[in-house]
Amino acid sequence: MIDVDGLISLVRNYNPRTNEALIRSAYEYGREMHKGQTRHSGEEYFQHPVSVAAILTEQRLDDATIVTALLHDTIEDTKSTYAEIAEKFGDEIAELVDGVTKLTNLQLSSSESKQAENFRKLFMAMSKDLRVILVKLADRLHNMRTIKYMRPDKQVQKARETMDIYAPLAGRMGMQWMRDELEDLAFRVLNPEARNSIIRRFITLQRETGNVIHKITNDIRSELDGEGIEADVFGRAKKPYSIWRKMEEKGQGFSRLSDIYGFRVITENEADCYRVLGAIHRRWRAVPGRFKDYISQPKSNGYRSIHTTVSGRDGKRVEVQIRTRQMHEVAESGVAAHWSYRDGVRAQNPFAVDPAKWVAGLTERFEGAEDTGEFLEHVKLEMYTDQVFCFTPKGEVVKLPRGATPLDFAYAIHTRIGDSCVGAKVDGIRVPLWTRLKNGQSVEIMIAEGQRPQATWIDIAVTGKAKSAIRKSLRVEDRERFIKLGRELARVAFEHVGKKATDKALETAARHLGYDSVNGLLAMVGSAEITAREVVEVLYPELSDTPGDAIEVASAIAGLSPGQAFARAKCCQPVPGERIVGISYRGKGVIIHAIDCPVLSEFEEQPERWVDLQWHSGKHLPVYTVTLDVTISNDSGVLGRICTLIGEQKANIADMKFLDRKPDFYRILIDVDLRDAEHLHTVMTALEAESDVASLERYRDPSRKP
């Protein structure tokens, strides 16, 4: 374990003006609080906080963060309290230690709803002071370095949580070195065979080709010396997990994967970065599509660098990153560079981002999320994706996640632009809205008055901001449509029992059914969450037309074994009075098909699964849903008359879905609850006689599975 003098020495290396007394006091206090505690390895527990503090000294962080690392487990695991720490070390450190304690108690790998709420708390902690997350990441890194001492099941849980949450978070914060190490340590637990295989291939490759990294490093240095450029050159083999991920993404074996080496050139100034790029491209052939200039278009976490991939020695692809020393500091520390010290003073790095602004920019994207699914979708998108930079026609830069579309671009500019988008031009050429944007493209959004978001846009958009805006617009539009449809369904249902759907009646029904308003009730009826018949029955139960002596659904089928489960097939929706046959399914019981259902051809070679069945004779309940495919004129009052016609046949409309809307016709799928085949025939005959019905047929979909 590093002693207190050793830790202070690590801090002094970058901050000679460190408050030695503060660190010494925190060290002794933490050691005393953890006295007698041990880790799974049997080592003294206090070794862990000291190791976390040492990791943070590598990022040259301030005294408050180092002290927080030393004390980060005291409130949770010892008799220490917030008040005591505040008294001894000040409010700032007490707040930081308390923040880390709260993060430690979050179960980020729990169920989705709980996970979303915990993510909210995590980002709230980030917004208060980002140093809390820096300590937590260092804590996780040391725990992963020593994970072999934990139970196997606990190792897998922590490794999965690290791979899913902490590694991407470190990458999003610009701490790529930490992300690489966290991923590789988790990879060692989750897939040790794959990791060992890659390491063995590396050893074989080095034996066959020699020290490729040393050779290519010398080649690059030779080229730069010839150009008179002062720069440091470093080479490395990529981490096993990084190689594994590339193999999985590209579907290639190790032998076909070429860019497994990375090289870094650190220059004195920005001008030299571009001189280095020119020298490398003159010496080696650049690989098309593998050039990124993050100097002219920095990432949101402050990262600046030039990336290029070239065909190097013996045709091997190598990635080269070129940046200045100040850019390199930000590339290594990410947003943590804001707190970095050099020679006892806060380093004034022009490329370090303001953490408060960075967190604000990150969290504002989540504010529009209205449920846990949306929130998790936004968070994980922000944490896992790289960025592309596109331009407006006026030359303004818009940052988007990789894979974003013109729709995301439109919503990034303004919600009003996104909502009224009708098309887009990329580099002057009209493209579909689902086109994936690339770095450097110029995007022009075409808008039109009256245009509204379409439901299909949800699948096209990538960013959380766009998806939230689209969902919000659709909810408003759908609610208005559902209220209108619900009012019509209620009117028909009330008239069916000789009553009127007055405002007072609907208000009473809404109150009895637990809805805040009539519109809330009607919206639920229109969206088929409840039926209009239920609304009538809550007010007039004595007028329900459900016959008391009708055959119950559970006993409607003859030929089943006692207690045997069954269900109507969704593909053909058989009703009483039609010839039927059953197909047995393991775990599902028997699925009832109409005898002419085309799906039955799939079971011709499995006669042992066929069950001879028939409907019991007698009067059945009107609960057998059949879908009708109806095309009607797009004229005022037509839909209302269709609903009235169905109601007059004592049939209930369970749901409606608009398949196609044209200026002159609507095509609608109407789910109708019926008693039997005769009832179905009566309803269809009444509809066919209506002059505004252009076509009518029973809708059957073989793709609907049981």
Q: Using one digit for the tens of pLDDT, what is the confidence trace for 368-424?
A: 554 445 555 555 555 545 567 788 888 787 878 778 999 999 998 998 999 999 999
Q: SS3 helix, strand, coil % of the chain, rounded to 5?
A: 50, 15, 30
What percentage of the chain reaches a pLDDT higher than 70?
84
Cα separation, 167 vs 187, in Å, equals 11
Residue 441 falls inside a structural domain? no
CB-CB contact of 20 with 63 (8 Å): no
Judge whether residue 357 has pLDDT over 90: no
What confidence score (pLDDT) does residue 579 get?
Answer: 92
Domain boundary among 516, 543, 570: 543
In order of 182, 183, 532, the CA distances from 240 in angstroms are 12, 9, 61
Residue 451 falls inside a structural domain? no
**pLDDT 10s digits, 470-498:** 888 877 777 887 888 888 888 888 887 78
Domain boundary among 171, 190, 209: 190
Whole-number average pLDDT of the chain: 83
**Active site annotation includes 77:** yes
Q: What is the mean pLDDT of residues 437-466?
A: 85
User: At residue 312, what are phi and psi to the nearest 5 degrees?
Assistant: -90, -145
- From the number of C-beta atoms within 10 Å of its C-beta (0-12, 13-18, 19+), residue 228 rates as exposed
Residue 198 falls inside a structural domain? yes
Residue 375 falls inside a structural domain? no
Domain boundary among 299, 317, 346: 346
Query: C-alpha angle 547/676/631, rounded to 5°?
Result: 120
What confidence score (pLDDT) does residue 46 get?
Answer: 93
Q: pTM score > 0.75 for this model?
A: no
What confidence score (pLDDT) does residue 317 get?
Answer: 77
The CATH code of the domain that includes 631 is 3.30.70.260
**Tell me, what amino acid is at 597?**
C
First to last CA, the chain: 63
Same domain, 495 and 536: yes
- The active-site residue out of 20, 44, 58, 76 is 76
What confidence score (pLDDT) does residue 105 get?
Answer: 63
Residue 374 falls inside a structural domain? no
Least confident interval from 278-287, 327-336, 529-538, 674-683: 327-336
Range of the domain at 237: 194-346
The CATH code of the domain that includes 27 is 1.10.3210.10
What confidence score (pLDDT) does residue 560 get?
Answer: 84
**pLDDT 10s digits, 120-160:** 666 666 667 778 888 999 999 999 999 998 888 889 988 98
Same domain, 213 and 83: no
Residue 443 falls inside a structural domain? no
**Active site annotation includes 529:** no
- The active-site residue out of 77, 84, 671, 701 is 77
Torsion sign, CA atoms 685, 687, 692, 693: negative
Residue 650 makes CB contacts below 8 A (sequence gap 6+) with 496, 545, 622, 679
Confidence of residue 356 (pLDDT cuts 50, 70, 90): low
- Strand order, beta sheet including 443-447: 429-431, 421-426, 443-447
Residue 392 makes CB contacts below 8 A (sequence gap 6+) with 398, 413, 442, 443, 444
Q: Number of C-alpha atoms within 13 angstroms, CB side, residue 269?
A: 3
Same domain, 674 and 532: no
Q: What is the mean pLDDT of residues 285-307?
A: 84
Beta bridge partners of 311: 285, 317
**pLDDT 10s digits, 583-627:** 998 877 899 999 989 899 888 888 888 988 999 877 888 899 999
Confidence of residue 113 (pLDDT cuts 50, 70, 90): very low
Residue 380 falls inside a structural domain? no
Same domain, 555 and 670: yes
Q: What is the mean pLDDT of residues 98-114?
A: 64
Confidence of residue 349 (pLDDT cuts 50, 70, 90): low
Residue 151 falls inside a structural domain? yes
